[in-house]
């Protein structure tokens, strides 16, 4: 166990890439689903094993020696501009890699059961492997450009997988086909990517490098906090984060991304890809810390998203859409953490959220599978006796996301709330608590409507059944992680006088040290009374939400409709997701369409561009005709032409000599 172990990092992205080629190239001919799914899962599983070994190696090192750059080869070179394919193996990237490959493996295994019998079975696994490869490049890269490659790559895979069932209809805002949902996700993300690109141009212009370490070190050395350039760069980067991590104003694509198969929603649109925005900020914590403005924007956007998405979640009836809004809301929590400078808390929530949200999505997939593709929770109910394992694990996941002690979500969410409060951001804290209350409410509403109460489905056509072992096994593993995951980050207040270490904070701390230095954060471990109080308060609020949901939905099956009638105004607004899609459609998409169609195409392209092009072509053609006439075929004329040339040359040479 030494340095050479760390050099094996190249295997981590390589194995899924090989898996992609095998399943992609040879999968179609192969009849055995078990073999294809096995190869794809083994590729990711192998990557997980290697990552785990590297993790052990790093644990054996001192905390200052855990950051390594593994250079593989030069990707491109032009003049002084060099970009290497090199991986930065450190605490942050290894944590992300463990999550991606670990949960990735489970979801691959789950997919073997879920996708059983699909005619494009190998294509699905090829895309999944490719996604893992791209995602690993995103988090392991040691420079912006390689991350950007992964960033775009996961966007591509997301597009391919949302539209995986491209022949199916999908009912979304201004969307008819799953392909439309895929396009929406891709295009909305392009807006964010534009921000990242411009940020990279600015950084290269300023620092002449795109290496994370160098850029952050130079930024810290060369700029005072609040410098305009750094604010611009970080805001542009954050624009990219709002796209990838589905925050206001670019978050509209995520709910429609549920058009993809459920394992995709779990892997890409809950556990991994959507947390890329958090990764990008955490990776550049130093630079973000230099800009108070950006930090305020990040926290503000985060809390606004957390609340608005949670409110939308209250009224949705599609099991996956509830979870989608819950994901958006939880990502908002992570951005709150980053915005108040609690980077560790943000990454902690990424991890716990990955556990319980993957669990919930896979659970919903199991429900959908058992209900023969039914997704409307109004048409479910009473499923717990048919699908006991799914129910139990889903229940654990719901407790975790609601923030009930001692499940994983409690610790991470509470740390975020405590950080917001202790830094003096009362408003942030208060709004986040309301969002947390809504979360508890809509999650238990979902739980009761799905598994509890009367059976509202048609018994003649639907026979709910428990899912196969390949699907329940990942559920059990993830449920276990959702229970114990939180103990990795036990807050100091609950550590019995510091005798239980906060493992995660310990692990991540050196990464964020420079950023913390800039933020000059005072240590606030002393005031435990307040912390205990806040913890109790947030726990009470969560329980309140649960009880409220219970009283409404435990047995009453007609409640969604009754609620809709009672609060018809606000209900409609929430049902239509704050009309954001409508606003975008009428003020942006339609305007663009009108300009493109009426002016850019019919006038600019047809008249001006084509006019110039055709005009040039015509004048060259007439020049050609002219030259043709000069070429008379008579030798004497040619000789005259030569003489003209000779005289011209000799006169020119003779002049002045």
Partner 1 sequence: MEQDFLLSAPITFLSIMATILMVVDALIKKSSKITFTLSWLTLGITGVLAAWTLKHNGTAFNGMITVGSFGAFFDILFCMGALLTLIAARPYMQRENLEHDEFHSLILFAVSGMMIMAHANSLLILFIGIEIMSVCFYILSGYMRSSVRSVEASLKYFLLGAFATGFLVYGMALIYGATGSFDYNQIFMAAQHELRFPSLMMIGIGLLLIGLSFKAAAFPFHQWAPDVYQGAPTVVTAFMSTAGKIAAFSAFMPIVAIVSPADTEMKIQIILAIISAATMLVGNISALTQTNIKRMLAYSSVAHAGYLMMGLVAISAHHARGVSGILYYLSAYLFMQLGAFVIVSILERSGEKNLEIEDYAGLSKRHPVLAALMTIFMLSLAGIPPFAGFFGKYYLFTAAIESGYTWLTIIAVISSIISVYFYIGLIVKMYFTEPNESGESTQQLPGIASITLAVSAVAVVFLGLMPAGLLDVIKLLFGN
Q: Does the footprint of partner 1 cover residue 656 (CB under 8 A)?
A: yes
Nearer to partner 1, 221 or 634 (CB): 634
Tell me the HSE value of 9 on the side-chain side, using a 13 A CA sphere.
30
Q: How many helices (H) and strands (E) does the chain have?
A: 28, 4
Q: Residue-wise over 438-454: b if at least 16 C-beta within 10 A, else e?
A: bbbbbbbbbbbbbbbbe
Region near partner 1 per CB under 8 A, out of 146-154, 186-194, 327-335, 636-644: 636-644
CB-CB contact of 362 with 263 (8 Å): yes
Of 104, 102, 127, the residue nearest 36 (C-alpha): 127
Q: Does the footprint of partner 1 cover residue 627 (CB under 8 A)?
A: yes
Angle at 109 between CA 87 and CA 45, to 5 degrees: 30
Nearer to partner 1, 73 or 652 (CB): 652
Nearer to partner 1, 496 or 630 (CB): 630
Query: Which residue intervals of 423-519 are DSSP H helices?
Result: 426-451, 469-484, 503-519
- Tokens representing 277 are 């925005």
Region near partner 1 per CB under 8 A, out of 18-26, 257-265, 308-316, 615-623: 615-623
Q: Does the footprint of partner 1 cover residue 612 (CB under 8 A)?
A: no
DSSP 10-49: GHHHHHHHHHHHIIIIITTT---HHHHHHHHHHHHHHHHH
Binds partner 1 (CB under 8 A): choice among 78, 496, 529, 635? 635
Q: Does the footprint of partner 1 cover residue 621 (CB under 8 A)?
A: yes
What is the chain's alpha carbon radius of gyration, rounded to the nearest angstrom?
29
Q: Does the footprint of partner 1 cover residue 74 (CB under 8 A)?
A: no
Nearer to partner 1, 540 or 639 (CB): 639
Binds partner 1 (CB under 8 A): choice among 221, 496, 529, 653? 653
Query: Which residue intervals of 249-387 are DSSP H helices?
Result: 253-256, 262-266, 276-283, 285-289, 292-313, 319-339, 343-370
Nearer to partner 1, 608 or 646 (CB): 646
Is the omega angle on the peptide bond into residue 247 within 30 degrees of 0, that is, cis? Answer: no
Binds partner 1 (CB under 8 A): choice among 536, 537, 595, 620? 620
Q: Does the footprint of partner 1 cover residue 642 (CB under 8 A)?
A: yes
Region near partner 1 per CB under 8 A, out of 54-62, 447-455, 564-572, 623-631: 623-631
Q: Does the footprint of partner 1 cover residue 650 (CB under 8 A)?
A: yes
CA gap 229, 222 in Å, rounded: 11
CA gap 296, 285 in Å, rounded: 14
CB-CB contact of 330 with 353 (8 Å): yes
Nearer to partner 1, 25 or 642 (CB): 642
Nearer to partner 1, 62 or 654 (CB): 654
Please name the residue that has the structure tokens 């908002």. Answer: 332
CB-CB contact of 392 with 479 (8 Å): yes
Nearest-approach distance from CB 83 to partner 1, in angstroms: 22
Nearest-approach distance from CB 81 to partner 1, in angstroms: 19
**What DSSP element (H or E) covers 81?**
strand 81-89
Nearest-approach distance from CB 616 to partner 1, in angstroms: 9
Nearer to partner 1, 2 or 624 (CB): 624
Nearer to partner 1, 570 or 617 (CB): 617
Q: Does the footprint of partner 1 cover residue 623 (CB under 8 A)?
A: yes
Residues β-bridged to residue 169: 177
Q: Does the footprint of partner 1 cover residue 78 (CB under 8 A)?
A: no
Q: What is the DSSP letter of 607?
A: I
Region near partner 1 per CB under 8 A, out of 112-120, 512-520, 529-537, 634-642: 634-642
CA gap 514, 520 in Å, rounded: 10
Nearer to partner 1, 500 or 642 (CB): 642
CA gap 400, 459 in Å, rounded: 32
Nearer to partner 1, 588 or 613 (CB): 613
Q: Does the footprint of partner 1 cover residue 624 (CB under 8 A)?
A: yes
Region near partner 1 per CB under 8 A, out of 142-150, 361-369, 530-538, 628-636: 628-636
- Tokens representing 429 are 């804290």
Q: Does the footprint of partner 1 cover residue 628 (CB under 8 A)?
A: yes
Nearer to partner 1, 221 or 630 (CB): 630
CA gap 507, 489 in Å, rounded: 10
Region near partner 1 per CB under 8 A, out of 80-88, 456-464, 490-498, 613-621: 613-621
Region near partner 1 per CB under 8 A, out of 199-207, 302-310, 355-363, 633-641: 633-641
Q: Does the footprint of partner 1 cover residue 644 (CB under 8 A)?
A: yes
Q: Does the footprint of partner 1 cover residue 639 (CB under 8 A)?
A: yes
Q: Does the footprint of partner 1 cover residue 631 (CB under 8 A)?
A: yes
CA gap 208, 354 in Å, rounded: 36
Q: What is the DSSP letter of 142?
A: S
Q: Contacts with partner 1: how many residues (CB under 8 A)?
A: 27
Region near partner 1 per CB under 8 A, out of 25-33, 130-138, 303-311, 618-626: 618-626
Region near partner 1 per CB under 8 A, out of 117-125, 390-398, 549-557, 621-629: 621-629
Please name the residue that has the structure tokens 């997988």. Answer: 161
Q: Does the footprint of partner 1 cover residue 638 (CB under 8 A)?
A: yes
Q: How far apart are the first and last CA of the chain?
A: 81
Binds partner 1 (CB under 8 A): choice among 60, 388, 533, 645? 645
Of 484, 292, 366, 402, the residue nearest 111 (C-alpha): 366
Q: What does the binding site for partner 1 look like in residue numbers (CB under 8 A)?
A: 617, 620-621, 623-625, 627-628, 630-631, 633, 635, 637-639, 641-642, 644-646, 649-650, 652-654, 656-657
């Amino acid at each position: 166990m030494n340095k050479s172990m760390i050099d094996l990092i190249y295997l981590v992205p390589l194995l899924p890439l090989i898996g992609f080629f095998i399943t992609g190239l040879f999968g179609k001919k192969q009849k055995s689903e078990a073999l294809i799914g096995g190869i794809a899962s083994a590729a990711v599983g192998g990557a997980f094993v290697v990552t785990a070994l590297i993790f052990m190696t790093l644990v054996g090192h001192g905390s200052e020696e855990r950051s390594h750059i593994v250079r593989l080869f030069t990707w491109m070179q032009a003049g002084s501009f060099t970009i290497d394919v090199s991986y930065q193996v450190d605490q942050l990237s290894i944590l992300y890699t463990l999550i991606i490959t670990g949960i990735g493996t489970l979801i691959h295994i789950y997919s073997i059961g879920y996708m059983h019998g699909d005619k494009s079975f190998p294509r699905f696994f090829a895309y999944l492997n490719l996604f893992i490869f791209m995602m690993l490049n995103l988090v392991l890269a040691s420079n912006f450009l390689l991350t950007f490659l992964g960033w775009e790559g996961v966007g591509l895979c997301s597009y391919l997988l949302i539209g995986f069932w491209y022949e199916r209809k999908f009912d979304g805002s201004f969307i008819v086909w799953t392909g439309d949902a895929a396009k929406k996700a891709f295009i909305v993300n392009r807006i964010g990517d534009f921000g990242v690109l411009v940020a990279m141009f600015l950084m290269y212009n300023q620092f002449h490098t795109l290496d994370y370490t160098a850029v952050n070190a130079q930024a810290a050395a060369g700029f005072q906090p609040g410098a305009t350039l750094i604010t611009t760069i970080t805001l542009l980067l954050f624009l990219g984060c709002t796209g990838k991590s589905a925050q206001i104003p670019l978050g509209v694509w995520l709910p429609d991304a549920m058009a993809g198969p459920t394992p995709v929603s779990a892997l890409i649109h809950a556990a991994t890809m959507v947390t890329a925005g958090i990764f990008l900020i955490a990776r550049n914590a130093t630079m973000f810390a230099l800009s108070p403005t950006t930090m305020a924007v990040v926290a503000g956007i985060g809390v606004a998203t957390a609340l608005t998405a949670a409110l939308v979640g209250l009224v949705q009836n599609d099991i996956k859409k509830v979870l989608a809004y819950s994901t958006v809301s939880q990502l908002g929590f992570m951005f709150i953490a980053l915005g108040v400078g609690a980077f560790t808390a943000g990454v902690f929530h990424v991890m716990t959220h990955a556990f319980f949200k993957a669990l919930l999505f896979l659970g919903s997939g199991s429900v959908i599978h058992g209900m023969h593709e039914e997704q409307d929770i109004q048409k479910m109910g009473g499923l717990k006796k048919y699908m006991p394992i799914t129910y139990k694990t889903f229940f654990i996941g719901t407790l975790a996301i609601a923030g009930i002690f001692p499940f994983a979500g409690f610790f991470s969410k509470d740390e975020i709330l405590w950080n917001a409060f202790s830094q003096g951001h009362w408003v942030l804290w208060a709004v986040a608590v309301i969002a947390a209350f809504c979360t508890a409410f809509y999650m238990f509403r979902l739980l009761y409507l799905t598994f509890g109460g009367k059976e509202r489905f048609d018994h003649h056509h639907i026979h709910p059944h428990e899912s196969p072992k390949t699907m329940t096994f990942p559920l059990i593993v993830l449920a276990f992680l959702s229970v114990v995951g939180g103990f990795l980050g036990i807050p100091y207040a609950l550590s019995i006088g510091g005798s239980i270490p906060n493992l995660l904070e310990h692990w991540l701390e050196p990464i964020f040290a420079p950023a913390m230095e800039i933020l000059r954060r005072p240590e606030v471990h002393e005031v435990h009374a307040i912390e205990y109080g806040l913890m109790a308060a947030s726990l009470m609020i969560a329980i309140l939400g649960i009880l409220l949901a219970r009283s409404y939905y435990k047995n009453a099956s007609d409640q969604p409709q009754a609620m809709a009638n009672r609060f018809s105004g606000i209900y409609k607004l929430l049902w239509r997701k704050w009309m954001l899609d409508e606003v975008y459609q009428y003020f942006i998409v339609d305007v663009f369409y009108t300009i493109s169609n009426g002016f850019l195409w019919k006038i600019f392209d047809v008249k001006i561009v084509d006019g110039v092009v055709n005009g040039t072509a015509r004048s060259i053609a007439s020049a050609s005709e002219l030259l043709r006439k000069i070429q008379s075929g008579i030798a004497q004329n040619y000789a005259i032409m030569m003489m003209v040339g000779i005289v011209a040359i000799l006169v020119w040479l003779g002049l002045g000599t």
